[in-house]
Amino acid sequence: MPNASSAGTIDVGGDLTVNRFGYGAMRITGPGIWGPPADKDEAIAVLRRVVDAGINFIDTADSYGPNVSEELIAEALYPYADDLVIATKGGLLRPEPFVGWPADGRPEHLREVCEGSLRRLKLEQIPLYQFHRPDPNVPFEDSIGELVKLKDEGKIRHIGLSNVNEEHIRAAQRLTPIVSIQNRYNVDDRASETIVDLCEQESMVFLPWAPIQDLDKNPTIHAIAERHSASARQVVLAWLLGRSPSMLPIPGTGDLAHLDDNLAALDLKLSQAEIASLTRA
């Protein structure tokens, strides 16, 4: 089985070194990211396979389930390995399945869900806590200010942002160091291209969500996959690793076979020309 250590390492916040291939734990919940998984035993097995494969960065959120993803992580992996970094997020609600994710960036809500994540994950301090999305009804600085208070209280080690633009990043940086950005990014969605470059320039980690999208629409992906006898999923994950040293892919799945397919991307070495062709595609 490929090991995540072959992707090299990256520093989160300058003091948390992890292998540069992580895992997103949204899909271990039920249909519609709601309730428990259909097969809890497989979800637990996936999480344990993740760490057996050398993945020591897991991304989750209180809204996944809600609460279910965090609870399963603790059930499967606690007590945690010393090098395991669990990142979670707060600021979105999940009132019912298959519908939108309303934002709630009120300071009192962020405090409540952060403390709930601490309990569910059985942590004394969350290594990386990310503001899930700016709330248009709450001043951005008020939301970040509450995370700064939680950090000062020792409940958060590092602060990250998700679903943000450069204006948000600069506003947050005026209040506290920001160590990571988690935005949607894949071969066919480059809205955050400049944010990837900014992360590289300023030693922030970039966590691409939805890294595997619209694979059937891009002939360049399939041409490269055929050349390497690889799957399209493996090609786009290998491209992310080659796109920037600040990139920390976090592909997620609740299925063991899909996890193994994702891990096989670690053995796929794209040429610089292939990486460039996908970047231009």
What is the C-alpha separation between 199 and 210, in angstroms, rounded?
18
| Mode of pairing for the β-strands spanning 205-209 and 180-184 | parallel
Angle in degrees, 0-180, between the axes of helices 68-77 and 107-121, rounded to the nearest 10: 30
Catalytic residue among 64, 78, 80, 185: 64
User: Any catalytic annotation for residue 64?
Assistant: yes
Beta-bridge partners for 209: 184
> What whole-number distance in Å separates Cα of residue 186 and Cα of residue 84?
26
| Consecutive H or E run containing 23 | strand 23-24
Candidates 147, 5, 160; CA nearest to 83 is 5
Residue owning tokens 């480059």: 190
CB neighbour class for 260 (10 Å; exposed up to 12, middle 13-18, buried from 19) = middle
Q: What's the CA gap between 185 and 211, in Å, rounded? A: 6
Q: Are 159 and 147 a contacting pair, CB within 8 Å? A: yes
- Ordered DSSP codes for 212-280: S--GGG-HHHHHHHHHHT--HHHHHHHHHHHH-TTB----B-S-HHHHHHHHGGGG----HHHHHHHHH
Catalytic residues: 64
